[in-house]
Structure 1
Amino acid sequence: MARPHALAFASPVARRRHALEKPAMQDRPTKLQAYQTYIDGKWCNAASGKAFQTFNPYTGDAWATIPECDKIDADRACEAAARAFDSGPWPAMSQTARGKVMRRIAGLIEKHAEHLAQV
């Protein structure tokens, strides 16, 4: 297996080959973090109950399961967003108040960028 620091200079094919290689120690089953999707103010699984594994692009190792959302989930999310926009607090807020909310969101994204990048 290639040394990780040597991969910085490797071709895309070599990096992909390295990502597909599995060290012998990794053959043991690993408990994966199971994530949910956030729809209508609640964390939930996909309506179908399906989920898929997501892989670390550098090592090729599975690290989490993600809900396999489909049209039903997308429709639920869009309906919830439309309801929140139409009847929630947002339309009643002034432009100044909306700006403050958006700046607060931007600050939180910046503050938690490292964690968000990992997820």
Structure 2
Amino acid sequence: MNILLIDDDRDCLESLAAVIEPAGHSCDIYTVPEEAVAAYDGVKHQAVITDIKMPGLSGIQVLRLIKAKNGKAKVLLMTGYGDVDTAIAAVNYGAYYFFSKPVNIDEIIEVLERIARE
């Protein structure tokens, strides 16, 4: 499965890719959310994992733009600021899953495997 990873922290992206790729997935990483949204291709990318708090577009904005391109997109949000209002907004805009940072790698792999089976 090909996954679009978005976070303004390159180290976080590289660490995430380093644990996702050995599970049989490939990752396209972006530190600029606007570039990631432009690069999103619903055929090529089976899932999107994005941080919520970023300069430029927020993860919620990324979610809305990706869902506008592909209503069936699987967008997973992650944040170090796990407030209830943000989680509610994410669900209301169609987020597939919501992770708190630091992310639980086993949980991410399990969710990605669930998406791959769909």
Both structures adopt the same fold (TM-score exceeding 0.5)? no
Structure showing greater radius of gyration is 1
Structure with the larger helix share: 1
Structure with the larger strand share: 2
Tell me the TM-score normalized by structure 1: 0.18
Tell me the TM-score normalized by structure 2: 0.18
Q: Which has the higher contact order (CA 8 A, sep 6+)?
A: 2
